[in-house]
Amino acid sequence: MSFTSLGLSAPILKAIHEQGYDTPSLIQAKAIPVVLEGKDVMAIAQTGTGKTAGFTLPILERLSAGQRVKNNYVRALILAPTRELVAQINESLIKYGRYLNVSSCAVFGGVKINPQLLRLRKGSDILVATPGRLLDLYNQNAVKFSQLEVLVLDEADRMLDMGFIRDIRKVLAVLPKQRQNLLFSATFTDAIRELTKGLVNHLIEIFVTPHDLTAQTVEQSIYPVDKHQKAPVLVRLIKEGNWRQVLVFNRTKHGANKLAHYLNEKGISAVPMHGNKSQGARTKALADFKAGAVRVLVATDIAARGIDIPQLQQVINFDLPNVSEDYVHRIGRTGRAGETGKAISLVCADEAAELFDIERLIQQVLTRIEMEGFKPSNRLMASCLDLRPTRSKKPKAVDSGSQRSGENMRHYKPSKSKTSRYLGGKSHKSGNGICGNNAN
């Protein structure tokens, strides 16, 4: 199957081709025709499968032939949980709508609201927003919804886990009843089911859920090491492997700052990224990392989902996550869209319980490698795979910040699959990360 068989027009197909894609992923092939028909859709698919294009492409197609948007009005609204994901969705709209007369705008907290107020005066065919900032703009009469045709809830499970349900319900209360509803999520939970009941009575359900939680394209291993030796081991791995781009996950904001400082002292350019950083600093850190200006991005779990880094080959768990499901989302930053990658975890004896939980979740014992010269004095217990069904732990906030702007990161149950190269595996830097406009 190719994109030409999905009902998309020549301008969109041209933009897709220029990005190097010919074949849609499974979620794209299933979702795009249904969305084009104007039906309500709930689509469940793991991260890294191109869900974003599954709704951005048909929305661009539908709006390209419609009426012009009025000042302060929007025709499609896309809600997403984090600033980074909002910016990334808007980048997708800009890329694939470049030959269309369709405008888009991204709004989120952590930046000044006045430029967003001014931008929305012109109206926007598509508005991508975090729930909190959207409500702020609505309360200032900056955005109106009587022209709204489509509503999208992206990463719906994450938004519910982050406590956005009240804001979402406030938004739903002011939207026109006659609209198309699209809900995209990585997992299907009781909370998701309950939310869909409040949206629609009849919807098309699309499930793309493989048996493997982790991608076959990701080579996973652990290095048993004493806690105080983790940083030197990381330095050796980077230098001996001559790694040019490494995403390192740290459990705390303080730890991320400290590790980035240590790496810079050792001659390895690194920058931290977490919820205490301003939006400008976070945007710059991610942009510099993608562009190769820095070798290492040290992040808390704020970067574990919704951030697409092209051809990222190494992910390091400097600390194991408190909740085992987050391990899958962390390592899902590599091995995307058919590319291969490595996921290495530095594990000390105190993290044995977290390791066993992860192995139980993914149903495999991870390969252990001992680095010469760094034999741990505190032995990491041997793994014994527990095949009993897992129970999700209660979510814990690990990177607190402004919940209304999408930073109070909580946890969710993920999945990940083996896939071929498809649209959605690349990401490009956008202008200021706030607004984009394809309109002539």
Residue count of the chain: 440
Smallest Cα–Cα separation from 344: which of 252, 248, 271, 253? Answer: 248
pLDDT at 312: 86
Q: Taking the C-alpha atoms of 215, 221, 225 and 231 in order, what is their torsion angle to the nearest 10 degrees?
A: -60
Q: Please, what are the averages of pLDDT over each run of 10 residues along the chain (440 residues)? A: 92 94 90 95 80 95 89 97 90 96 94 94 96 96 96 89 88 94 84 78 77 66 96 96 94 94 97 85 88 93 67 91 82 72 94 92 90 93 70 43 39 36 42 42
Smallest Cα–Cα separation from 380: which of 230, 234, 224, 228? Answer: 224
Phi/psi region, residue 189 (left: phi>0; alpha: psi -120 to 50; beta: rest), is beta
Assess contact for 76 and 64: CB atoms under 8 A.
Answer: no
What counts of helices (H) and strands (E) characterise the chain? 14, 15
Tokens of 118: 């001014």
pLDDT at 47: 67
Domain 3-210+420-437 belongs in CATH node 3.30.70.600: no
- Is 176 buried (19+), middle (13-18) or exposed (0-12) by CB count in 10 A? exposed
String of DSSP letters for 282-305 = HHHHHHHHHHTSSSEEEE-GGGSS
Tokens of 352: 């044995």
pLDDT at 393: 45
Pairing of strands 218-224, 367-368: parallel
Same fold: 3-210+420-437 with 218-405: yes
Domain extents for the chain? 3-210+420-437, 218-405
What is the spatial distance between Cα 247 and Cα 295, in angstroms, rounded to a whole number? 9
Number of C-alpha atoms within 13 angstroms, CB side, residue 244?
A: 6
pLDDT at 211: 45
String of DSSP letters for 160-203 = HHTT-HHHHHHHHHTS-SS-EEEEEESS--HHHHHHHHHH-SS-
| Cα maximum dimension of the chain | 69
At residue 49's C-alpha, the angle toward residues 323 and 364, to 5°, is: 45
* Radius of gyration from C-alpha coordinates of the chain: 21
What is the spatial distance between Cα 75 and Cα 67, in angstroms, rounded to a whole number? 9
| Top CATH class, 218-405 | alpha beta
At residue 151's C-alpha, the angle toward residues 150 and 153, to 5°, is: 150
Tokens of 243: 């790694």
What is the spatial distance between Cα 275 and Cα 165, in angstroms, rounded to a whole number? 21
Q: Which residue has the tokens 């969705």?
A: 89
Assess contact for 85 and 79: CB atoms under 8 A.
Answer: no
pLDDT at 216: 67
User: How far apart, in Å, are the Cα atoms of 396 and each of 362, 405, 409?
Assistant: 20, 18, 8
What is the spatial distance between Cα 160 and Cα 166, in angstroms, rounded to a whole number? 9
Q: What phi, psi does 144 have (nearest 5°)?
A: -125, 150
- Is 197 buried (19+), middle (13-18) or exposed (0-12) by CB count in 10 A? exposed
What's the DSSP call for residue 405? G
Q: Which residues contact 280 (CB under 8 A, 6 or more apart)?
A: 111
What is the spatial distance between Cα 222 and Cα 351, in angstroms, rounded to a whole number? 12
Q: What phi, psi does 376 have (nearest 5°)?
A: -70, 140
Tokens of 171: 């938004």
Pairing of strands 435-437, 103-107: antiparallel
Tokens of 232: 């030197």
